[in-house]
Amino acid sequence: MGHGCKSDKTVSLRITHKNNPLDHVYKMGSVPLKQVDSYKYLGVTFTANLSWKLRVKNTCSAAFRKLAYLRHKLGNSPSNVKLLAYLTYIRPKLEYACVAWDPYTKLNINKLERIQRKSVRFIYSKYKRLDSPSQLMLANEIPSLESRRQKYRLDFLHNIIDHKFTLNASLYVSPLSTRQTRHHRSDALTLIYAKTDTYKFSFFPRTISEWNFLPTP
């Protein structure tokens, strides 16, 4: 007999933007499932309104705790060691599964960048007020997290188009049907219309739009 779902370990997460959502109690067999407003699945926190605010908050908290630990353990280490520690223990936390949850609000984007700026100060022991983390990043070729997330999304979309994954790409993307112009790539894709920001800035609508405006190879 295979392993089935257990009602005491299963919850119901209603995803909606409605002010008065359908009030329905889901059951497994005869057992009502616990209704939750957020749930962590495969390391990513999903919320009822598909906001990534809680995900960003949890990510920044975990990364900051790790940074505090590294400051304590590696405070007197050379910059190359501290940089390696950042790239190994902190940045992966800030980027885990970011293709799915890349935030679009300035507030959440800045929260993540703030952790990297604090880390850069730690790496190069530059804590004075006039020390610029942005200049340190530029001088040491450390890109912003926002630009890295965009690259991850575009790479992921490229792999979908090239059938690198075991999924039917035609269900998600289709070639642009209008006549090609100098403003479009030869492999431009049909844009996805979205009524809400939640959908507009989700992976496919957002990344397809960015893909179409990439420089022609």
Amino acid occupying residue 33: L
Contact assessment for residue 43 and residue 100, using Cβ atoms and an 8 Å cutoff: no
End-to-end CA distance of the chain: 54
Confidence of residue 1 (pLDDT cuts 50, 70, 90): very low
- The pair of three-digit structure tokens given for residue 122, joined into one six-digit string: 């730690």
Contact assessment for residue 95 and residue 150, using Cβ atoms and an 8 Å cutoff: no
Chain segment 147-201, per-residue pLDDT in tens: 999 999 999 999 999 999 988 889 999 998 766 555 678 889 999 999 999 999 9
Chain segment 107-133, per-residue pLDDT in tens: 999 999 999 999 999 999 999 989 999
Would you say residue 82 has pLDDT above 80?
yes
What's the whole-number average pLDDT of the chain?
Answer: 91
Check residue 100 and give its pLDDT: 95
DSSP string, 179-199: PP-TTS-TT-B-----SSHHH
